[in-house]
């Protein structure tokens, strides 16, 4: 298990992944890196955390990590794995399609943690090949937070029935609780707080290079913003699907009822961008 002394810098990893992307030919039966990256002795940068809390709508100044923040901590390690030559999916065009999070107890922002990340598997998807990346946050050897993210590389498939899990079904429409007007700079502000400065989130010009008419919001920003509004119990399991990009600037509707939530376009026929579920543990 390779042990790191500090989080990798995201910029060089994104550049490496971009350079290698044209040479990769994704397929679900390809080999993938088996390494588990480990980062011990992790302390939280409280200034960066406060910036993240502000842009996502979480309370600031509390000695507690937002439920989505360990994903930000683990993302550089995941990028190191997914930008490596032995990762078979091209980094450019890779789409974050879902994340499942389990928090076993509250996480003090002043704590010291151990972070572990690995690629768990590749699987066929009706639109290509999907990779699962597992992130674990540990305190004194105990796993206190864990997640599984899926990333989709789109490519032609043989038409064979997919081995992926069926999409989660959200029964019935949810009542709209609020409308949010999203500024054009949301992607830049979230990128500054999280370190994820993917060009598709920054400016209309850089987004158009990848086929988007305008910059789009980070999927993990939309999830965090919804969970900040919804609230989460101390021990919780969260399932979130990213279903359609959110163009910036724009207006979206936040809808929720009990354990379910959605982010969708305004109006009765608004397109669902994000859907999720929050379940208390224990």
pLDDT < 70 regions, the chain = 159-171, 268-269
Same domain for 185 and 115?
A: no
* Cβ-based neighbours of 188, under 8 Å, separated by 6 or more: 201, 202, 203
159-188 pLDDT per residue, tens: 554 444 555 554 578 999 999 999 999 999
Rounded to two decimals, the pTM is 0.92
**The dihedral of CA 62, 96, 212, 72: what is its sign?**
positive
Q: How far is CA 5 from CA 33, 159, 196, in A?
A: 20, 45, 20
Rounded CA separation 25/237 (Å): 35
Rounded CA separation 48/63 (Å): 14
Q: Which domain holds residue 259?
A: 169-282
Counting the structural domains of the chain, the total is 2
Same domain for 157 and 197?
A: no
The residue among 133, 166, 199 that closes a domain is 166
Same domain for 30 and 113?
A: yes
**The dihedral of CA 231, 234, 238, 244: what is its sign?**
positive
Beta-bridge partner residues of 37: 117
Same domain for 147 and 180?
A: no
127-164 pLDDT per residue, tens: 899 999 999 999 999 999 999 999 999 888 775 544 44
Same domain for 148 and 253?
A: no
């Amino acid at each position: 298990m390779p042990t790191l002394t500090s989080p990798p810098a995201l910029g060089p990893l994104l550049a490496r992944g971009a350079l290698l992307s044209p040479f990769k030919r994704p397929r679900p039966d390809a080999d993938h890196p088996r390494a588990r990256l480990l980062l011990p002795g992790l302390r939280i940068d409280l200034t960066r955390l406060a910036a993240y809390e502000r842009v996502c709508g979480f309370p600031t100044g509390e000695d507690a990590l937002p439920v989505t923040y360990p994903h930000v901590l683990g993302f550089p390690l995941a990028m190191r794995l997914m930008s490596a030559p032995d990762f078979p999916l091209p980094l450019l065009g890779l789409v974050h399609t879902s994340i499942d999070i389990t928090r076993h107890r509250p996480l003090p922002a002043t704590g010291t943690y151990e972070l572990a990340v690995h690629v768990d598997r590749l699987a066929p998807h009706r639109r290509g090949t999907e990779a699962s990346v597992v992130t674990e946050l540990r305190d004194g050897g105990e796993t206190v937070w864990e997640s599984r993210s899926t990333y989709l590389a789109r490519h032609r498939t043989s038409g064979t029935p997919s081995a992926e899990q069926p999409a989660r079904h959200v029964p019935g429409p949810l009542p709209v609780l609020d409308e949010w007007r999203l500024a054009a700079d949301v992607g830049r502000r979230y990128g500054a707080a999280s370190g994820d400065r993917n060009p598709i989130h920054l400016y209309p010009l850089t987004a158009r290079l990848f086929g988007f008419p305008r910059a789009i919001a980070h999927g993990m920003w939309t999830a965090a913003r919804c969970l900040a509004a919804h609230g989460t119990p101390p021990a919780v399991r969260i399932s979130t699907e990213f279903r359609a990009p959110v163009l910036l600037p724009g207006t979206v509707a936040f809808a929720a009822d009990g354990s379910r939530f959605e982010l969708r376009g305004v109006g009765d026929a608004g397109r669902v961008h994000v859907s999720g579920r929050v379940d208390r543990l224990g």
